[in-house]
Amino acid sequence: MKNHFNLDCASDQIVLSSQEEEQRHARKKLIHSNRFKVRSSSQHTLKLRPNEFGAGFSFLLTLYVEGRKVIGAEADVGFLHQGIEKSMESRSMADGVALLTRFSSEQGTSMSVAFEIAVEKLSDAAPSGRTRLERIITLEAERIHHHTSVMAHVYELVGDSSERSLRMRLSGLSRVDRSVAVSQGLSGITLRAAGFADDLRYASSELPYELLGFRAAVRQEADAFGRFMLRKTEIDNSKNLIERARGLLKTEPEEDAEIIYSPSTPRVMSQSVEAAEGELSVTVCGDGSEKPVRVRIKTPSFAHLSAISTYLTGADIDDVLLILSTLGIDSLEVDR
């Protein structure tokens, strides 16, 4: 948890070596030299704090504005930091699945599915066809839930749900083209709304999307309107995928056996899944015991928030909250 006010916890002073002192000094110099500089009287700094009315997020957003136009933005995160990666190291692999499912209401299922698959690979275990289809159903249900909640927030801010109003309000806002998105590590909706059918569901050998005739929806606008409309299309696509997966599930035999997570040899395994917002990657390092040595979770919200300046630069300050609402950032996933 971030603690900007109570510095007493630094009472157990750690003695730094001269090299560490040098590093710390160099780092402080860097921090000061790289701070955004306000250059003229028409430029201002505006801070949106985690508890700001209507903000709906739990990070500190600093906007640099000139007149009414945003010319830069920075996010400060960590207010909800829970040390989930550290916590995973003291739990068994099976407990880890349960913890991750409950960790985030938005993309907890994606996290636990990616973790399960990574651990299965470490254990050289192969899940049944039934398990694979059930995973697709839960992932797609989570996608519907996530997109619906993002769209509801946008409807609330726009004040109307007609396509005409949405187009008028969102068109041209927050343009992020394909090359910028790729260089910033922005996958999922942002990339598909910029005309590029990048979707991990195409190349997934672990989740049989090809059996369901999956095709990624793509739009060309590369703006907030394109991203919003893509969510609508993806909800319909996910419903269809669930229906087809349920149909195939009827042909799969019932099973009682549980997969036993038991990594045999020390190895590192990474697994990505296409979560509602984009690529969610989990890396697990096992040493042969039932507890992981290290679990790393990289969420799409992390990538989105790290590129917040890309999304907001050039926007009018009136549009900032609306743009943020279209991004579907979950602060919990960033802080972990």
Partner 1 sequence: MKPEHAIESILRKRFPRIHVLASTQGPSYERLLIGKEHLIDAMQFLQQDPDTQFDMLVDISAIHHIQSTERFFEVFYLVRSTRLRYQLGVSVNVLEVMASLPTITPIYAGANWLERELWDMFGVFVEGHPDLKRLLLFEEFNGHPLRKDYEEPLQS
> Which of residues 81, 156, 165, 236 is near partner 1 by CB under 8 A?
81
Q: Minimum CB separation from partner 1 for residue 160, in Å?
A: 35
User: At its nearest, how many Å lie between partner 1 and the CB of residue 155?
Assistant: 30
Of 21, 30, 98, 260, the one binding partner 1 by CB under 8 A: 30
Site string for partner 1, 200-229 (x = CB under 8 A): --xx-xx-----------------------
Interaction pattern, residues 265-284, with partner 1; x per rule: CB under 8 A:
--xxxx-x------x-x-x-
Closest to 103 measured CA to CA, from 83, 89, 117, 120: 83
> Least distance to partner 1 from the beta carbon of 73, Å?
14
Q: At what angle do helices 163-170 and 129-158 cross, to 10 degrees?
A: 80
Contact call for residue 2 and partner 1 (CB under 8 A):
yes
43 bridge partner residues: 66
Residue type, 148: T
C-alpha closest to that of 291 among 118, 92, 86, 122: 92
CA–CA gap between residue 308 and residue 285 (Å, rounded) = 31
Residue 129 near partner 1 by CB under 8 A: no
Residue 294 touching partner 1 (CB under 8 A): yes
Q: How far is the CB of 286 from partner 1 (least distance, A)?
A: 11
Nearer to partner 1, 129 or 149 (CB): 129
Is 183 among the residues that bind partner 1 (CB under 8 A)? yes
Separation of alpha carbons 322 and 252, rounded Å? 45
Question: Does 34 engage in binding with partner 1 (CB under 8 A)?
Answer: yes
**With CB under 8 A as the contact rule, which of the stretches 76-84, 99-107, 132-140, 158-166 interacts with partner 1?**
76-84
Q: Which of 57, 103, 115, 196 binds partner 1 (CB under 8 A)?
A: 196
User: What DSSP string describes 89-148?
Assistant: TTS-HHHHHHHHHHH-TTTHHHHHHHHHHHHHHHTT----HHHHHHHHHHHHHHHHHHHH
Nearer to partner 1, 152 or 268 (CB): 268
Q: Is 20 or 163 the residue whose CB approaches partner 1 more closely?
A: 20
Query: Which residue type, as a one-letter code, is found at position 96?
Result: G
Measured from the CB of residue 188, what is the shortest distance to partner 1 in angstroms? Answer: 11
DSSP string, 268-326: EEEEEEE-SSSEEEEEEEE-SSSSEEEEEEE-HHHHHHHTHHHHHTT-BGGGHHHHHHH
User: Is position 182 an interface residue for partner 1 (rule: CB under 8 A)?
Assistant: yes
- Shorter beta-carbon distance to partner 1: residue 74 or 95: 74
Question: Can you tell me which of 60, 63, 77, 176 binds partner 1, judged by CB under 8 A?
Answer: 77
* Residue 210 CA, distance from chain mean position: 24
Give the Cα separation of 230 and 217 in Å (integer): 7
By the rule CB under 8 A, 83 interacts with partner 1:
yes
CA 31 to chain centre: 26
State how beta strands 60-66 and 69-76 pair: antiparallel
Angle ∠(21,22,26) on CA atoms, nearest 5: 120
- Shortest distance, CB of residue 182 to partner 1, whole angstroms? 5
- Contacts with partner 1 by CB under 8 A lie at 2-4, 7-14, 19, 23, 27, 30-31, 34, 77-78, 81, 83, 85-86, 121, 182-187, 191, 196, 198, 202-203, 205-206, 267-270, 272, 279, 281, 283, 285, 293-294, 296, 298, 302-303, 305-307, 335-336
